[in-house]
A and B are shown apart, each in its own frame.
Chain A
C-alpha cells in the first residue's frame, strides 16, 4: 500500500517540478510521454530503449553487454539491432544502465507512474529531484570505449629539452658562455657598466650566485672545505643550497621519480 501512496506523492511532486521546468522551456512535447505499453499482467511495465555504439557493429559488443535496472534488480538483454526491453518492472523510479566492458554509456533515471506513464531524465545523485528530460524510449549513445589504462611515461630527448626547468637551466648557461665572447670584457668601460648592472641584478650580496653554487657543487667537498665562508653567509647557505639542489634535481624526468618517492611515503603516514 505504501508504495502506491509514496508513488502518488512522488508523481505529484514530479509534476509540480515539471510545471516549473516547463515555464522556462517552451512546450514542444507533452509533459509526460506515454508509452502505451501497459501490459496485461498486473502493474508491471516495460522499459524500452536502444543503445548505440557509433562506428561499431552491434555484433561486436552486444554479446557482452546487458541492461541493468537499479543495480541488478531487473535485467534486460540487447537485441541484435541494439534495442532492448526490460520486462516485468513495477512502477517506481529506477536508474537504467547499459553495462558493457568495452564501451561506456551514461546512466538514465526512468520514472514509471502507477498508471504506466514513463519519462526519462538525467541521473543526478546530488539534486535528486532535478529534472533534465531525456528522450523516451531511451536513446543511449556510447561516448566511446572505456579508458582502463594509464599511458606509460616515455622518455624522449624532446621531452627533456622542452622541459621548462631544463630551458631555464640551459639558456642562462648559454648566456654565461656566449656573452663574454660577444662582449669585449677587456674594455674597462664595458666592465664597469657590467659590474653596475650585476649589482643591480643582485641587490643582496648575502645570497650566493648561481655560478658559485655550480662550482661548489661540481668541485666536490675538497674545494668547499678549502674555501673560506663568512659566518653570516654560512647561516643562510644550507637552506639556499637545499632549495637549489631541489631545483636542479627536479628537471627532466627525475622530478616525477623524486616526487613519487616522496609522496609514496607521505601516503603511508
Chain B
C-alpha cells in the first residue's frame, strides 16, 4: 500500500517539475520579437534635446515608445481590438502625450516618461473630427476636441472639461478642422460642400462669433485646406487651378482671395488632386508661412505667403521629389525633401524653409529595397548641433509598413518590419544539408560501381568528416580565446545548414494583406508579404512582396517538397484565395531562398472550394496538390503525365469533404478516374438551430507511437485511431444564455458516419479546440456559471483491436467507446495547439495562449477522461491523477516566462530531429520562438549535465581500486609469510 503511494507522490512531484524553464536558459534557444503594426502617428520626443524617444500610435490600437538609437521597444500599451480602441489622434506636448481613442470615446493623457496614464476622460458621444492644443500667452493649458456636433475644451492637467458647446447647424455643416494660433480664440472650420465655409470663433471664455464665407468650389476643408502664417486659411481648388487665401481672424466679413496657379508658373499633373502641406511647430504660436504644394505624383513646390497676406512667392520647385516634410528645432524650421537618386537609392536633403536654399552636408541616402514597398512617409527628428547648424535623423515609413531609421550619411540605424505584426499563417521547413553532408548522403544513394571505388569513396568521405571536425575544434578553440560577447555569428542564407538534431529551421511566414493609400500615384496598394526567418536567431533572411493581394484574402501555405530531395530544391506553394469571390491564385517559391519558382502554376479560372495535399509524389518528388473548383472539377498541381497516371490508379481511394457553413452542409466526395468527382455522403446541420464554426481533421504529419494504453490490470485499452476523423464544432444561433449550446460532432470523412456527438448546454463560443491522436479537447464559455471550461473527448476501440494492421473507415463495424470529462479553466484563452514530436513517443502537452500573453504548457495528463474520482489501486498503477474540477495554472508552466506574446493569434508546433523536443512558434502581435520538452530531455544529456562530477567519481573509483588492489596484494603477501 505504501509503496505505490510514495511512488505516486514522487512521480507527481517530478511531474510537476517536468515542464519549466530554468533561469539560466533564458534566451538560450528562445527569442521574441515585438511589433506594433502600421504607424499612423509618429512623434519624436522634443521635450529635451538629448532625449532619444520615439512615440508611435498604430492601426493595431497600440501606443508605443521606442528608443530611437536602437529601435528597441521601451513600453507599449495594447488597447482593445476593433473600433473601440482605434487611435484617432496622437499629439505631444512636453512630457504629455494626448490621444483620442475609439472614434471620440475617450481622451487620454500619458506620461511619456513613465509610460503610465496621467488621466482618462470620457467624451460625449459623437464621431471625432479633429483636436488641437490651445495656448494662452505661450503656455499650453487646454486641448480642444472637435466632434461632429460639438466642441469641448479640456484642461491638460486633469482632463476635466472646461466647457462644451454645441455647434450650430451641425446637420448641414460638416465641421472638419479646429485651429488655434496662440490667441484667446479657437476657430472651428466647417463646410457645406460646394456652398460656403463656416468659421466659428470661440473665445476661451465661452463666447462665439459666427462668420460665413461663400465658397462654392470647396468640398472638404480636411483634404484641401491648411492654415498658414498669421491665421490665413490656404485652400487649393483643382477645378479652377487656383489657390485661395482667407484671413480667419478678420473682423469684417472676409472674402476669399484667388491666386491662379498659372500666375505662379505652376501646372498640375493631369487628373491629380493637389495637396497642401503646412507646419505649426508650436501650439502657442501661429504656423509658419511657408508651405508645400504637391502638383503631381513626384512634383512639389515650396511656396511662401508674403507678409501682406495676399501674395505668394514660389521659393523652390522640387521635381522629382517623392516625399516632403517640415521639421523644427529651436527656432529653425527646415524643409526635408526626398528625391530619387537611382534604382536602388533615394536622397534626402534639407532646405532652409524661409529661403528654399539647400543646406550643405545634409544629404542622407535611403536605400530602396526592391523586395519591399516604396517610401510612404517621412518623420524627421531635427536637432541643433554644437555649432548651431541643423542635423537630423529621419524615420522613413514604406508602403510595406516597414520603418527605417537613418542618420547621416546614410547609415541605417535600425529597421522594423512591422508587417510581421499581422502574421496569418506559417510553416517551418528543414534547412538544406551542407555540401559535405550532401556528399555523404550521396554515397549511399548512388549505385555501386565496383568494390575499389566504393572503398576509396568511403575513405575520402571519412577524411572530409575528419577535416570538418578538426576545423570545428579549431574554431571552438579560437573563439574560446576571444572575450565573450565579441563572438558573433552572422547568419546569412549561404551559411545556413541543418544542424545535428534539426533544431534550426526556416520559418516561412505570411502576413495579412495590407492596404496602403498612396498620395503620389492615387493608388490603393494591396499587398501581402512573405518572410523567411531563421528559427535560431530570429533574423529575417529574405522577404518577398506579393502585389495585388485582395484585402480579404485567405492564405494556405503548403510544403510540396521538403529539402530531403537533393538536388531538387524545396518547394512551397502559397494558395491565395479571395474570400468573397473564391478566386484563387498560386505562388510557388523556394522556402529557403524566397525566390519565385520557375514552375508555372496552373491557371485557376473558377472559384476554389477545397485544396488537399496528397501523399502522391511526382518524379521530381513534389507532393501533388489537388484543387477542387465550384463545379467539382479537380485540378492537379503539378499535373505531369506521371501524376495523372498515378491519380487515375488511386482515384477510388481519394476522398475529400466540403463545408458550406452558410447552408449547414457537410458533404463528402470521391475522385473518379477522369478527375471528376461524385458525392457520396452529406450531413446537414439545420442552420436555424446551429451553425458550423470550425471543422478540423488531424495533422497529417502526426505520428502515434502506442496503439493503446496499458491499464492497471495489465489489459490494453486500444485507441481509436481513425486518420479520416473530422471534428465539427457548431454553435447555436440562439444566444440566450439558457438555450445556447455548443455541439461537437465527430464525423468520418470517408463514409460520412457520425461517430459521436456531444452537446454542451448553456455554453457559447468562441470555441477553441485541438483534434489529435484519439482525442478532441475543446474549450467554451459556460453561460450559466460564467466561466471557461475545457472538455476532453477520448475515443477507444475497447480491449480488442478490430484490425490491427490497417485502419479502414469502410470496415469498422463497431463504434468506438467515447469517454468525456470536463474541467474548469480559470482564465479565458485565445488559442490552443498541441505539441508534436517526430515519432509521437513523447507525451503530449497542450499549448494554451492566454490573454495575458503567457503561453501555458498544460500536460495532456490533466485532460484525461479516465481521471478517477476515487483513487483505486488500478488508477494508481496507471498514474492517473485524481479528478479535480479546477485546472491549475502554474506560472512555472509558462513556456515564455515573462516574454509575453500580445494578442496570440496562433501557435505553430513542429517536430525536431530529437524525439524529446518540439519547436514552438507563437505569433500574434509578437513572434516568440522556443523549444519545449514535454517529457524532459530523455534522449540527450541535459545542458546542466555535471561532467566534472561524473569524471571525478570515475577517477576516484579507479584510484580506489588501484590502491585497494595494492593493499590486498600486500595483505596476501603478509599472510603467505606468516
Contacts and interface: CB of A to CB of B under 8 A. Distances in A.
A268 B843 contact: yes
A71 B938 contact: no
Contact of B116 (A59, A93, A266): A59
B311 interface: no
Given A75-B85, A101-B853, A152-B24, A64 B75 contact: yes
B77 interface: yes
A80 B287 CA distance: 33
A269 B709 contact: yes
Interface in B830-886: 841-843, 851-853, 861, 879, 885-886
Contact of B786 (A2, A46, A77, A128): A128
A186 interface: no
B114 A148 contact: no
Interface stretch (B501-509, B528-536, B666-674, B891-899): B891-899
A263 B11 contact: yes
A146 B886 contact: no
A35 interface: no
A88 B14 contact: no
B891 A148 contact: yes
A75 B79 contact: yes
Contact of A128 (B81, B119, B785, B946): B785
B105 interface: yes
Contacts of B111: 80
B938 A149 contact: no
Contacts of A104: 891
A149 B80 CA distance: 30
A68 interface: yes
B824 interface: yes
Interface residues of A, number: 57
A71 B115 CA distance: 23
A6 B738 CA distance: 10
Contacts of A237: none
B615 interface: no
B936 A260 contact: yes
A71 B81 CA distance: 12
Contacts of B824: 125-126
Interface in B486-521: none
B439 interface: no
Interface string A232-269: 00000000000000000000000010011101111111
Interface string A60-81: 0011101010111111011110
Interface string A78-113: 111000110110000100010101101000000000
A155 interface: yes
A267 B11 CA distance: 10
Contacts of B15: 263
Nearest to A84: B117
Interface residues of B, number: 71
Contact of A259 (B10, B842, B944): B10
Nearest to A42: B125
Contact of A93 (B84, B113, B786, B894): B786
Contact of A88 (B81, B114, B122, B949): B122
Nearest to B710: A269
A63 B115 contact: yes
A147 interface: yes
A93 B892 CA distance: 30
Interface string A151-194: 11101000000000000000000000000000000000000000
Contacts of B841: 268
A197 interface: no
B818 interface: no
A39 interface: yes
B120 A87 contact: yes
B443 interface: no
B787 A149 contact: no
A114 interface: no
A167 B718 CA distance: 46
B120 A149 contact: no
Contacts of A126: 824, 885-886
B826 interface: yes
B284 to A, nearest CB: 25
Contacts of B120: 77, 85, 87
Contacts of B710: 269
B736 A149 contact: no
A63 B114 contact: yes
Contacts of A75: 78-80, 85
B851 A72 contact: yes
A80 B81 CA distance: 24
B886 A265 contact: no
A150 interface: yes
B277 interface: no
A100 B383 CA distance: 36
A152 to B, nearest CB: 6
A225 interface: no
Nearest to B852: A99
B705 to A, nearest CB: 7
Contact of B938 (A59, A68, A87, A265): A265
Nearest to B903: A72
Given A79-B116, A268-B842, A148 B786 contact: no
B116 A63 contact: yes
A146 B851 contact: no
B20 A150 contact: yes
Interface string A18-32: 000000000000000
Contacts of A149: 20-23, 892, 897
Nearest to B829: A71
Interface string A187-220: 0000000000000000000000000000000000
Interface in B916-972: 916, 934-936, 938, 944, 946, 949
B122 A41 contact: yes
B124 interface: yes
B785 A147 contact: no
Contacts of B886: 125-126
A142 interface: no
A96 to B, nearest CB: 13
A46 B105 CA distance: 14
B463 interface: no
A58 interface: yes
B936 to A, nearest CB: 6
B900 interface: yes
Given A152-B944, A155-B946, A77 B787 contact: no
B21 A58 contact: no
Contacts of A72: 80-81, 828, 851
A116 to B, nearest CB: 14
A73 B77 CA distance: 15
Q: Which of A72, A88, A97, A104 has the most CB of B within 10 A?
A: A72
A101 B34 CA distance: 15
B21 A150 contact: yes
Nearest to A109: B786
Q: Which of B78, B80, B706, B851 has the most CB of A within 10 A?
A: B851
Nearest to B946: A155
Given A63-B114, A73-B80, 9 more contacts: A70-B828, A77-B108, A99-B852, A101-B898, A147-B891, A150-B20, A152-B22, A155-B949, A268-B841
Closest 5 CB pairs of A and B: A63-B115, A71-B828, A63-B75, A148-B897, A267-B843
Interface of B: 10-11, 14-15, 17, 20-24, 74-75, 77-81, 84-85, 105-106, 108, 111, 113-120, 122, 124-125, 705-706, 709-710, 736-737, 785-787, 824, 826, 828, 841-843, 851-853, 861, 879, 885-886, 891-892, 894, 897-900, 916, 934-936, 938, 944, 946, 949
10 contacts: A59-B113, A88-B105, A88-B122, A126-B886, A146-B898, A149-B897, A256-B14, A259-B11, A259-B14, A267-B861
Interface of A: 2, 6, 39-41, 46, 58-59, 62-64, 66, 68, 70-75, 77-80, 84-85, 87-88, 93, 97, 99, 101-102, 104, 123, 125-126, 128, 146-153, 155, 256, 259-261, 263-269
